[in-house]
Amino acid sequence: MVITVKTLILFTAIFLSSCVNKLHSESVYQSLGGYQKVEEIADNYILEIEKDPVIFEYFKESDVERYRAKVIEHICHHTGGPCEYTGDDMQRVHDGMNITESDFNRGVDLLINAMNTADIPYRVQNRVLAIFAPMRKDIIYRP
Ligand code: HEM
């Protein structure tokens, strides 16, 4: 069979477009590396909270096991993974905490540290942050 330049270009174009499609159809959950990575991020995040006296103040009476389970479900679900979130909604959970804007930003920094420790590439981290940042309005200043 003779492969013409035209055929070669066509096959290359099909191959490249399937790569681009894959890039776009991959969920953030898949890009993170699936369930194990979600667990790793949640565990790193909990360690970050424990090291940060300002943020830990909010959690000092929390049930860590429940928090870990709900945060894993929450990240898995919202990044497009196969999990159901069975915790409370974000407004209800954070009601009464009166979380300030600067403490919210501090919490985001801890999440970034947790993702860095888990070796999540920046482009994937940005996709994660783009999912969680809009929840800010349900979380801050809820006296
Ligand atoms: C986008 C940002 C955030 C998300 C997605 C988030 C998500 C969650 C989730 C899923 C839970 C567990 C809900 C449940 O037990 O039913 C939770 C609980 C909690 N969150 Fe957040 N959170 C965020 C930011 C923050 C910040 C910035 C603080 C404090 C500075 C905070 C403090 C807490 C506390 C104290 C609990 C309760 C733990 C307990 O005692 O059960 N959260 N959050």
Encode pLDDT of 35-87 as tens digits. 999 999 999 999 999 999 999 999 999 999 999 999 999 999 999 999 999 99
Assigned domain for 91 exists: yes
Q: How many domains does the chain have?
A: 1
Assigned domain for 82 exists: yes
Atom of ligand 1 nearest to the CA of 71: 10
Distance CA(94)–CA(36), nearest Å, equals: 27
Nearest CA to ligand 1 atom 10: 71
User: Does the pLDDT at position 128 exceed 60?
Assistant: yes
From 139, 141, 142, the mutation candidate for ligand 1 (largest count of ligand atoms within 8 A of CB) is 139
Assigned domain for 80 exists: yes
Atom of ligand 1 nearest to the CA of 140: 27
Compute the distance from residue 140 Cα to the ligand 1 centre, in Å.
Answer: 11
Assigned domain for 87 exists: yes
Cβ atoms < 10 Å from Cβ of 131 = 13
Q: Is 46 in the pocket of ligand 1 (CB under 6 A)?
A: no
Assigned domain for 16 exists: no
Q: What is the pLDDT of residues 83-96, one digit of tens each?
A: 999 999 999 999 99
Assigned domain for 13 exists: no
**pLDDT, mean over the chain:** 90
Compute the distance from residue 119 Cα to the ligand 1 centre, in Å.
Answer: 23
| Cβ pair 50, 56 in contact under 8 A | yes
Assigned domain for 123 exists: yes
Q: Domain containing 58 — which CATH number?
A: 1.10.490.10
From 93, 98, 102, 113, the mutation candidate for ligand 1 (largest count of ligand atoms within 8 A of CB) is 93
Q: What is the pLDDT of residues 2-33, one digit of tens each?
A: 566 555 554 554 455 445 445 558 999 999 99
* 3-state class percentages of the chain: helix first, strand second, coil last, to nearest 5: 75, 0, 25
Domain span including residue 36? 28-139
Assigned domain for 23 exists: no
